[in-house]
Chains A and B, each alone.
Chain A
């Protein structure tokens, strides 16, 4: 059962009282996010030949709850799997989350390219576990090579710190995306990477990151070495920014 805090309760009470006094419309602050939802949409992970494709997926509902708490997005509470081998499956979701597409080969790579050409958006975020992503630079090279081959009209560019993606919903300090680190041991090479945009003309069709946000909202950063408090929230905020930025630009 959803809990309601005292502040929310008093807001609701005030809003109810206001409506009795004939105010034509409730003030926006009196309306809970659950009353204002857009079209229903599912959160899907890209199912690739990689055995790691659903790593941390068990905690995706945590992210879904964050979405529903912080935005008016009508996102399903659970996660879905979208198999890269089926274009029809991919096209059920406007936004796909992936651990990496380096292992995707033809003809599945054609499916992914066609999905992006149709207007879909792809977010690639590497897991920070060195057993999954031993070399972040190499990981990026693989992703760039994939898109150069599968989507030759696209370009990968590093996003500047002033980019709207860092402030469209939550302010990301300094325009620096949050990183999580394996065993909370700082890695300067990893932290030096910002976000990379997959651009088709002026349109951003995807984002490539080595930040390990999924490790953040899955709380793996707290075991065995605790990361700074609030890392999970910071990661989810950055992801919400990416998601909303993708929604608001033209396909």
Chain B
């Protein structure tokens, strides 16, 4: 591959012959320079010749730089197809355990892949002058030949397929052939690999090794990877309980999942299972009920092989919710939001006004030392929710935005409020937007009609009202006739339980102004929309990391509050519940019980990890499949970040073992541990006999310009004209740099200053 440089004329010049384009630009340059010289010889004031010449040079250089930009110089990556003798093919062999597992005929996927590939070695030799070989399981290793790659070393316990191919790309091959079954056991996505292969213009080919392994039944191999519930919730509120299930299946099926609280079934569903490895999240809204301990148990599957994992949630009468309010511009909403939160002692409000506002007064009952948003998430840790009210992109530094993002990822809640389309557009592409559930309109796009109309009206009012002595009768009548628009009610969105806050009724909130957003991100919950335009989203929320980010694209509802009778508490209840819905993690995630081993086997030690427990040791017990109970010794562990305890036991029979941890405060966590028979490594993902991921490999290959390799020829012969594949030539404009723009701006500024010096301005 070689890199070249060429001029690519922009705009309509691109369509004319280069010589003609150059002629036009040269004419424009001469005309422009002549005009500059002529203008500076006829200034309003007489200039010294040195000043005139200096100004002429400044203006002339600006004109020439502008024409240079029009000429559109670009750096072009030209790919000159290498001669066959210099082209390299990388052959990568998957040496993980699943490739070497024999079927009933003693055939392995590795042997099948090698057999298929050897049919193509001749055409590969003709198309590529050089072949390099690698093998991988958990780590990529070069091999001297295909035979060495196939035979050397024992099969590995995992398949790091995508990481290995990404590493091979760094060696700069012209194409890659991989012998694999496509089961990457790390759970990594292949998006980055496909992008990198495309960028480097390296096609990926796959030889899918097949055999006739007896596969298990759908749902046989499954586990509950994690449960997420808040440790503490307020009474009579709603919260989300979620679980992530991992299921390895040989065929498409459905698997029942249930959520129980004691002997009461709260929810049930049938999870669709596809062949292969499935990661299935399931979220259920739960009513907290009255104060006490609320047990929650997720169950997966049915019958004797049903898995269960449980946690408890502490439902409390009251707790303190620390809210940080940051205001970017003066507005009345703060007065009423503050009233709503301070009317309930559960809320503790800390307010920061943008220092640029110049306001010098305490805006909370207790003065706080914080004067601006902190630069790191640690500074926000004591707050459960941060409200960003009408902030502007140029007010928040990159560090502050990063701190907010880290804060939410770590379990915090952020509510972004802005009714101003122009202000939100400036957040397009920022770190903050990446976290929020909505995509803002592009800053370079057209101004929406409503915003343009509002701006026009604003200007007209200023013309008519700001100079009363010059008012015409028309302007006076127009000003006197203007009206404040009526309030608009929210309409509930389709998604989440929290949409109930926006249901129509006498206490339903109403807004005055709103911002337009481009779209809602996939996976975000739409809580409220404009009544006559469901595509116009007013409130959206999404989980981001362990926390929540929400966007309220309206004003702070102060007019709605004023429209309510003074005896009504609808506004207070609305704000309190809305803020509460963003703060599920009132106090961490609560007691958790997990096993650190992927595939426990009988007569081998199983380690249990108990996290987020109290300082005193929890009681940990196991129950065997046969029903015998055993209390385990618990020790402190030092290999985790937070407080944690560890317990060990040796199962003496295969089957479903139940483990339970109980904190001194009554919190309980349960888990089911499936213990296999005595044969070692019998249930790892590698040896579950999962079918090859043929479809996934085909998609990946086709996305990069490659294909699956079967019996038909794949590579064009050396003498075939098709061997010279047309390749894109990426171009990067050299004029589109901030440096050139800064130079132009600087020259222009200097010229203006000099003109001012000589009183030409």
Chain A positions near chain B (C-beta within 8 angstroms): 6, 13, 16-17, 20-22, 24-26, 28-31, 35-42, 58-59, 61-62, 64-65, 71-74, 76-80, 88, 91-95, 114-115, 117-120, 164, 167-169, 244-251
Contact A246 B335 (CB under 8 A): yes
Q: Given contacts A31-B356, A39-B558, could you give 16 more A-B pairs where the C-beta distance is less than 8 Å?
A: A13-B745, A16-B745, A21-B738, A35-B392, A38-B333, A61-B466, A73-B331, A80-B482, A114-B565, A167-B360, A244-B330, A244-B359, A244-B361, A246-B335, A248-B363, A251-B339
User: Is B397 at the interface (CB under 8 A from chain A)?
Assistant: yes
B: number of interface residues (CB 8 Å): 66
A40–B741 CA distance with the chains assembled, in angstroms: 36
Contact A76 B461 (CB under 8 A): yes
Given contacts A39-B419, A119-B339, A169-B358, contact A94 B332 (CB under 8 A): yes
Contact A28 B395 (CB under 8 A): yes
CB distance from A41 to the nearest CB of B (A): 6
Contacts of A40 on B, CB cut-off 8 Å? 512-513, 555
Contact B466 A62 (CB under 8 A): yes
In the complex, chain B residues 63-122 whose Cβ is within 8 Å of any chain A Cβ: none
A169–B467 CA distance with the chains assembled, in angstroms: 26
Interface string of B745-761 (1 = CB under 8 A from A): 11001001000100000
A249–B330 CA distance with the chains assembled, in angstroms: 13
Contacts of A64 on B, CB cut-off 8 Å? 465-466
Given contacts A13-B745, A77-B466, A250-B335, contact A118 B561 (CB under 8 A): yes
Chain B positions near chain A (C-beta within 8 angstroms): 327-336, 338-339, 342, 353-363, 390, 392-398, 419-420, 458, 461-462, 464-468, 479, 482, 484, 512-513, 555-556, 558-559, 561-566, 738-739, 741-742, 745-746, 749, 752, 756
Q: Which of B329, B355, B468 contacts A61 (CB 8 A)?
A: B468
A246–B356 CA distance with the chains assembled, in angstroms: 19
CB distance from B328 to the nearest CB of A (A): 7
A39–B339 CA distance with the chains assembled, in angstroms: 18
Given contacts A13-B749, A61-B468, A244-B330, contact A20 B742 (CB under 8 A): yes
Contact A118 B566 (CB under 8 A): yes
Contact B332 A41 (CB under 8 A): yes
Contact B359 A248 (CB under 8 A): yes
In the complex formed, the residue of A with least CB distance to B342 is A250
Contacts of A21 on B, CB cut-off 8 Å? 738, 742
Contacts of B359 on A, CB cut-off 8 Å? 168-169, 244, 248
Contact B357 A39 (CB under 8 A): no
17 example contacts (A-B, Cβ-Cβ < 8 A) are as follows A17-B742, A17-B749, A20-B741, A26-B394, A31-B394, A36-B328, A38-B327, A38-B328, A38-B331, A61-B462, A61-B465, A72-B357, A77-B458, A77-B462, A94-B335, A114-B565, A246-B335
Contacts of A71 on B, CB cut-off 8 Å? 330, 357
Contacts of B467 on A, CB cut-off 8 Å? 61
Contact B355 A28 (CB under 8 A): yes
A25–B390 CA distance with the chains assembled, in angstroms: 16
Contacts of A93 on B, CB cut-off 8 Å? 484
Given contacts A58-B468, A118-B562, contact A31 B360 (CB under 8 A): no
Contact A94 B562 (CB under 8 A): yes
A29–B465 CA distance with the chains assembled, in angstroms: 28
Q: Which of A25, A38, A92, A118 contacts B397 (CB 8 A)?
A: A25
A44–B662 CA distance with the chains assembled, in angstroms: 63
Contact B332 A247 (CB under 8 A): yes
In the complex formed, the residue of B with least CB distance to A94 is B332
Q: Which of B354, B466, B484, B746 contacts A65 (CB 8 A)?
A: B466
Q: Which of B363, B468, B556 contacts A39 (CB 8 A)?
A: B556
CB distance from B471 to the nearest CB of A (A): 9
CB distance from A239 to the nearest CB of B (A): 14
CB distance from B129 to the nearest CB of A (A): 45
Contacts of B356 on A, CB cut-off 8 Å? 28-29, 31, 36
Q: Which of B329, B338, B465 contacts A37 (CB 8 A)?
A: B329
Given contacts A74-B331, A167-B360, A169-B359, contact A20 B745 (CB under 8 A): yes
Contact B741 A39 (CB under 8 A): no
